[in-house]
Structure 1
Amino acid sequence: MKLFDTLTQTQKEINKKVINIYSCGPTIYDYIHIGNARPIILMDTLIRFLESSGVKVNFLQNITDIDDKIIEKALSENKTEKEITDKYLSAFLDNLNKLNIRRPNKLIPISERILEMDRFISKLVNLDAAYNVNGDVYFDIQKFTDEYGKLSNKKIQDLISGNRVEVDIKKNNPLDFSIWKKTNKGVMFNSIFGKGRPGWHTECVLLVDEYFSGETIDIHLGGIDLQFPHHENERIQFIAKNNKELANIWMHNGHLTIDGEKMSKSLGNVMTLTNFLNEYSSDILRWIFLTTYYKQPLNISDDIIEQAKKFIQKIDNLSKKIKQVIITEQITMSGYIDDNILDEFKIHMQDDLNTSRVLTLIEEVLKDINRLISLNELKALSTKINSLNYIFKTLGFSMCVNVFASEEEKDIFWAWKKAVSEKEFEKADEIRAILISKGIL
């Protein structure tokens, strides 16, 4: 399949039996917002499709459980940092369950890798790629001027002159970033540089380096907001240590806005994923994300939520209609699949995850199914429904077109028909309520 690589700005072909993937995990100091869910669902969609095609995927993700934001949250709420991280890690994992996410092969809290982090940073210092200033360790950008900025298409001098970095007299260069921070505030760990804690930009690259044995991984995925400086800083550390690229393909999804405005706590329009999933089904959010090419910005509005609801209702109504057909026509659904539908599905997915075109394909299949029902041409019905359900499962939806009617449901349906024909309307209404609860009417 072809995927767009941010570094080279080209589509790259990937055709391997085993694929190694990394995606940045959350900093667990608060509930994640729905914008954070976009790379999660993008990753899930990609992995599900790869695995449905017989590819083995090794998926690694970190959990940032050491961070200044966690310390500040703990202080403001008069709690320990562990109480904060336990609470929001639990919420994050609950979000993954509700979103029907295929879990990473390894989900590693960075606090479990302090010793490895110490060794990694020491290696960078020994290679003269980083320097120690009285217990604060910084990465030396000037040693890599030919490489730094390539991922985000930024020039070092432009970044400095643009005043986008904080001035720190300890640094050789304003762009040099912290990889070990000396501190006496909050949680501290021992290292050869003294007590402190690791820099955020080093967490991810350490895990990639350790888990994949210093080899270039196939795909690194994340939101466009992480492209600079986080991913840029990850990449340059990996190059410094291993003299090779961190990832063959860098995938970045576009921004998410709420009613046309970028989410911001100051604007008061930050919608947490927990709150969204308490109000709407996960299929609604998944459908919304799949409507737009993942690299493009996406706006969440009442209108698109209503569109998603209508789509899900359409599938629910079709399930009812199919159950009635199965009962009245006394047919049994086969397990066959329409190869033409699946071939088209794969073509769209292999084209840089063209999910908007897949949703169009789904609508076309739905029209075909309804046409077959209206013409009573039921022979090809099951293959089209099975194909549709295969696509739903591969895309990670929890919904499907229900093609099974139990003997009990059949008996209740015919009892309702009999009551209606005999004009026993009160009895018919009682039975009808049962059929509605069972998803037949």
Structure 2
Amino acid sequence: MKIYDSLTKTTQELKVTNNQIRLYCCGPTVYNYIHLGNSRPSFTMDFLVRFLQWKGIKVDYLQNITDVDDKIIDKALAAKQSETDLANFYTDAYLEDLSALHIQPPTKLIKVSTVIDLMIEFIQKLVHQGDAYLEQENVFFDLNRWKGEYGKLSNRTLDSLAVARIEPETNLKHHPADFALWKKTEVGIKWTAPFGIGRPGWHTECALLNDFYFNHQTLSIHGGGVDLKFPHHENERIQYLAANNRELSEIWMHNGHLTFNDEKMSKSLDNMILVRDFLKDYHPDVLRWLFLTTAYTQPLDVSHDLLTQGQKFLDRLNNLTKKAKQLTAFNQLIDESTKESSSHFLERFNDFMNDDLNTPLVLSVLEQAIKAINKDLMKDKITPDFYQLKTMLKVLGFSTSVNLAVNQEEKSLFLAWKKALEQKDYKNADTLRSQLIAKGLL
């Protein structure tokens, strides 16, 4: 499988060792419900993980939960509740949203608050090596020591960042771009460390978690949104590189940002759509389809027209199932599913997914399969194409599928409706038809 690597700016072959890969994707800062933009990295990883698992590859997938952060502290203070209660509430909400979207949870989720001692040890190591320095109970990473490496991920140079405001303005840093590993604080939750009383900086948690959980081994893939490339991923990479003298990840996999009707989703524009609000109006598979329409590396504009197309796609799947079930109930379906497929939908699906998750072409294969199956059903037959479509939908994580099985109750209802029509008992036929529609069978 080939995947585009943001660090080398080239497409790289995914290395699989002992039939397993190590995967990390940055998780949420739990101070609010997630919005559609937050969900895109989760969907991207879900497509990847499900596909690799289908190929028999084990994916050890780690994700963090940032439950220690200034945003959490500010919101908790405003709401007059504890930061822990606030963070736990939104952590549960995040997991509920993943489940509602039919996204598989990571192999391991780690809350930052549970690894503070490990983060302190990690920071101490960097200070001891001379890669970080202590200033008035704050600890900063010394970027001058890594001038030749820093900025490669985001295509920046340290000199170009000399006047950048990356952290809140302070005269404590040796270089304006140096970032905090430990912050002295008197507000909100804090811990006692050798450096003083405070809490860790955001950029250290992911470096430490990967170092700890994967036992100093380089990741196969590091995922996340393009908005995190700088400064978060840049700072994460340089800390891991300093601590281990090796790259954090073989492949950096960044997904593009989301816009809504050609405007970037942002709080200032008040156009962010929460996942749970979206699901009040749309089936979760509409959003899954939406993220398949565009290459994950590219920006994606969410429009009402596109959402309508997504709903029509689900309608086509449901209508196909209704036709297949009706033919099954009437014993009219000719089973040719054991014959060799001439369409090779599954082979093409595999090729496109292997090509850096080329999901727009994958969707074209699904559409071609739907058309082919409808033609087969017009001839009262079922071919391997039906089951290949079913497999592709499952691998892509759709909860909507295609099905031809009918139970005895459904079959009896279909046959009673057919008999009423044949006997021209239209009143009873209309009643039975209404029941079939209510059950989603017509």
Judge same fold: TM > 0.5, yes or no. Answer: yes
Shift, 1:272, TM fit: 1.1
| 1:282 aligned residue | 284
Is the CA contact (8 Å cut-off) linking 2:167 and 2:179 kept in structure 1? Answer: no
**Matches of 2:167 and 2:118 in 1, distance apart?**
28
Q: AA paired with 1:425?
A: Y
C-alpha distance 122-368 of structure 1, shift in aligned 2 (>3 A):
same
Deviates more, 1:414-423 or 1:257-266: 414-423
SS of alignment partner, residue 330 of structure 2: helix
Is the CA contact (8 Å cut-off) linking 2:167 and 2:180 kept in structure 1? Answer: no
Q: AA paired with 2:386?
A: I
| 1:303 aligned residue | 305
Shift, 1:408, TM fit: 1.9
**Matches of 1:84 and 1:333 in 2, distance apart?**
56
Shift, 1:190, TM fit: 1.8
Shift, 1:39, TM fit: 0.5
Is the CA contact (8 Å cut-off) linking 1:7 and 1:249 kept in structure 2? Answer: yes
Shift, 1:356, TM fit: 0.6
| 2:36 aligned residue | 34
Matches within 5 A, 1:223-262: 223-262=225-264
Is the CA contact (8 Å cut-off) linking 2:131 and 2:242 kept in structure 1? Answer: yes
SS of alignment partner, residue 265 of structure 1: coil
Aligned with residue 114 of structure 2, among 94, 112, 115: 112
C-alpha distance 332-92 of structure 1, shift in aligned 2 (>3 A):
farther
SS of alignment partner, residue 292 of structure 1: coil
Is the CA contact (8 Å cut-off) linking 1:214 and 1:242 kept in structure 2? Answer: yes
Is the CA contact (8 Å cut-off) linking 2:166 and 2:231 kept in structure 1? Answer: no
Is the CA contact (8 Å cut-off) linking 2:165 and 2:176 kept in structure 1? Answer: no
Is the CA contact (8 Å cut-off) linking 2:7 and 2:152 kept in structure 1? Answer: yes
**Matches of 1:33 and 1:414 in 2, distance apart?**
46
Is the CA contact (8 Å cut-off) linking 2:165 and 2:177 kept in structure 1? Answer: no
| 1:360 aligned residue | 364
| 2:129 aligned residue | 127
Is the CA contact (8 Å cut-off) linking 1:4 and 1:11 kept in structure 2? Answer: yes
**Mind listing any 5+ residue stretches in structure 2 that lack a counterpart?**
none
**Matches of 1:149 and 1:247 in 2, distance apart?**
15
Matched, 1:347 2:356: no
Q: AA paired with 2:376?
A: L
RMSD: 1.5
Q: AA paired with 1:403?
A: L
Shift, 1:134, TM fit: 2.2
| 1:418 aligned residue | 419
Shift, 1:439, TM fit: 2.2
SS of alignment partner, residue 288 of structure 1: helix
Matches within 5 A, 1:39-438: 39-161=41-163, 166-331=168-333, 338=341, 340-376=344-380, 378=381, 381-438=382-439
Q: Deviations over 1:280-305 (max 9, x none)?
A: 11100000000000011000010100
**Matches of 1:335 and 1:384 in 2, distance apart?**
8
**Matches of 1:439 and 1:274 in 2, distance apart?**
25
Q: AA paired with 1:51?
A: Q
SS of alignment partner, residue 182 of structure 2: strand
Aligned with residue 25 of structure 1, among 21, 27, 47: 27
Q: AA paired with 1:368?
A: A
| 1:7 aligned residue | 7
Is the CA contact (8 Å cut-off) linking 1:333 and 1:403 kept in structure 2? Answer: no
**Matches of 1:383 and 1:163 in 2, distance apart?**
59
SS of alignment partner, residue 196 of structure 1: strand
C-alpha distance 303-373 of structure 1, shift in aligned 2 (>3 A):
same
Shift, 1:395, TM fit: 0.4
**Matches of 1:305 and 1:89 in 2, distance apart?**
28
C-alpha distance 128-164 of structure 1, shift in aligned 2 (>3 A):
closer
**Matches of 1:431 and 1:164 in 2, distance apart?**
67
**Matches of 2:26 and 2:151 in 1, distance apart?**
19
SS of alignment partner, residue 190 of structure 1: strand
Shift, 1:374, TM fit: 2.1
**Matches of 1:147 and 1:326 in 2, distance apart?**
64
**Matches of 1:188 and 1:332 in 2, distance apart?**
69
Deviates more, 1:426-435 or 1:60-69: 426-435
Q: Deviations over 1:168-221 (max 9, x none)?
A: 111011100001111110001121112111110000110000011111110000
**Matches of 1:356 and 1:323 in 2, distance apart?**
29
Shift, 1:164, TM fit: 5.7
SS of alignment partner, residue 59 of structure 1: strand
**Mind listing any 5+ residue stretches in structure 1 that lack a counterpart?**
none
Q: AA paired with 2:322?
A: K
SS of alignment partner, residue 348 of structure 1: helix
Q: Deviations over 1:369-411 (max 9, x none)?
A: 11112234x1xx2421111011011001100012101122111
Deviates more, 1:144-153 or 1:86-95: 86-95
Is the CA contact (8 Å cut-off) linking 2:161 and 2:176 kept in structure 1? Answer: no
Q: AA paired with 2:360?
A: S
**Matches of 1:184 and 1:309 in 2, distance apart?**
51
Is the CA contact (8 Å cut-off) linking 1:166 and 1:174 kept in structure 2? Answer: no
**Matches of 1:404 and 1:375 in 2, distance apart?**
18
Scaled by the length of structure 1, the TM-score of the pair is: 0.97
Deviates more, 1:58-67 or 1:381-390: 381-390
Is the CA contact (8 Å cut-off) linking 2:15 and 2:220 kept in structure 1? Answer: no
Is the CA contact (8 Å cut-off) linking 2:266 and 2:272 kept in structure 1? Answer: yes
| Alignment coverage as a number of residue pairs | 438
